[in-house]
Amino acid sequence: MLTRKWVIVASVLSLVFCVSGFSAEGGDDLSDEDLAMTSMRHRSSDQALVQALLPASFSPVFSAASSEEVLVVAAVGDLMLGTSWPDERYLPPDGGATLLAEVSPILRRADIAFGNLEGPLIDGGTTSKCARNQANCYAFRMPRSMGRYLKEAGFDVLSLANNHALDFGVEGRESTKRVLDQLGIAHSGEVGDIAYLTVRSKKVAVIAFSCYDTSYNLNDIEGATKIIRELATKADIVIVSFHGGAEGAKYQHVPYGTERYLGENRGNLRKFTHAVIDAGADLVLGHGPHVVRGMEVYRDRLIAYSLGNFTTYGVFNLSGPLGLSLILEVHLWPDGRFMGGRIHAVKQERPGIPRLDPQRTIIPIVRRLSQEDFGERAIQVQDDGTIAPPRTR
């Protein structure tokens, strides 16, 4: 019975956040100041509204966590704002200043905004990864000046654990860290690089994995669970990011067993994600396949297996599902359990500009993939993008 109460509370809270204007559609014409004031007013009234909607018997359940204690995470997939390599034709005309303008209000309203930075921030340098005219080989080099646009968009923490982080060697990664440190954007990349944030009086740890030994390796499940258990003793909330899985439109489903792509072990993602939650992780965010995948709830924790391409300017194939994306808004109870949230549908406009999608194309896709891959553990997805934990029997 208690489980059913949590599900109803989570669903109502998701509705409250969407009605209140926190979930951005319809609010993008407001100024940043108006958005901040609106968010404060709505947060202060959320608990009263929820208690009015719920039966009196549910009040003690909600009283365990006021709206001021709810942690809101906005997460996106791959970010590559343009590359100066092999030449500057793959850079946006304004240097990237307005690239994220349409989606920034949603990111800025979250307590924590996360993304996967798909390539280094560095001016100059050389790559040993690809010859200049080599076909089907991609090396990315974002100018350091683009870092400020990530900050202005609202990003708080970025993953640097992926197959493009070292496109311009260790110096490229070190340059990226210096830029982000100067801007106050936390990051997690190589072993030992773990992000810590303090939000709503809680310590949040963010750790990024990939399928390579240049970072925490998701194929080393024993090592992964060891570090997560350690982090769970140091932080109130542990968020795990991973870059894994096969790439492309054919790989929207999450298979059982190990995924292999281009001769690489891209991970047994079901095994990895469940193991890190068993060890103490509270939210697991995946990226790497360049398509959005389904989502499940395991032990009351949300797993998003792939958030897709978010801003991939210039050289990426954006046809079909490769151009569909989202901003995943996740609401967490103070103890890390998944409360609910919303999918904000996004579609990339060529050559790679993220736009809010009024047709909400990705939403029924996420619903279908989640149901087909995870059955009774699939998240509930409403037509407006509201998400909630699975129904209980």
The average pLDDT across 195-215 equals: 97
Q: Are 234 and 352 in a shared domain?
A: yes
Q: Are 39 and 145 in a shared domain?
A: no
Q: Is residue 195 part of a domain?
A: yes
User: Is the distance from CB of 176 to CB of 120 less than 8 angstroms?
Assistant: yes
**CA nearest to 357, candidates 115, 112, 102, 104:** 102
Percent of the chain with pLDDT over 90: 78
The pLDDT, as a whole number, for residue 48 is 39
Alpha-carbon distance of 375 to 371, in angstroms, equals: 5
Q: Are 219 and 261 in a shared domain?
A: yes
Q: Are 181 and 57 in a shared domain?
A: no
Better-scored residue on pLDDT, 121 or 41? 121
- Least confident range of 44-48, 77-81, 171-175, 263-267: 44-48
Q: Is residue 393 part of a domain?
A: no
Of 35, 62, 89, the position where a domain reaches its end is: 62
Q: Are 21 and 101 in a shared domain?
A: no
Mean pLDDT of the chain: 87
| The model's pTM | 0.85
The owner of tokens 């992926």 is 162
The pLDDT, as a whole number, for residue 64 is 40
The average pLDDT across 39-67 equals: 37
* pLDDT at residue 69 is higher than 80: yes
Q: For residue 216, what are the β-bridge partners? A: 209
The average pLDDT across 75-80 equals: 98
Q: Are 122 and 33 in a shared domain?
A: no
What pLDDT digit, counting tens, does each position of 207-245 carry? Answer: 999 999 999 999 999 999 999 999 999 999 999 999 999
The pLDDT, as a whole number, for residue 393 is 59
Q: Helices 2-20 and 32-53 sit at what angle, rounded to 10 degrees?
A: 150
Q: For residue 101, what are the β-bridge partners? A: none
The pLDDT, as a whole number, for residue 135 is 77
Total domains in the chain come to: 2
What pLDDT digit, counting tens, does each position of 271-313 carry? Answer: 999 999 999 999 999 999 999 999 999 999 999 999 999 999 9
Q: Is residue 82 part of a domain?
A: yes
The pLDDT, as a whole number, for residue 3 is 41
Q: Are 190 and 132 in a shared domain?
A: yes
Alpha-carbon distance of 254 to 299, in angstroms, equals: 18
Q: Are 329 and 303 in a shared domain?
A: yes
Cβ neighbour number for residue 28 with a 10 Å cutoff: 14
The pLDDT, as a whole number, for residue 132 is 75
Q: What domain range is 208 assigned to?
A: 71-388
Q: Is residue 95 part of a domain?
A: yes
- How far is CA 289 from each of CA 120, 221, 249, 253, 305, rounded to the nearest angstrom? 19, 20, 8, 10, 9
Q: Are 217 and 352 in a shared domain?
A: yes
Q: Are 291 and 146 in a shared domain?
A: yes
Residue type, 22: F
Q: Are 85 and 121 in a shared domain?
A: yes
Q: Are 135 and 266 in a shared domain?
A: yes
User: Is the distance from CB of 3 to CB of 9 less than 8 angstroms?
Assistant: no
Of 62, 89, 105, the position where a domain reaches its end is: 62
* pLDDT at residue 266 is higher than 80: yes
CATH at 340: 3.60.21.10
Of 43, 62, 81, the position where a domain reaches its end is: 62
The average pLDDT across 96-108 equals: 98
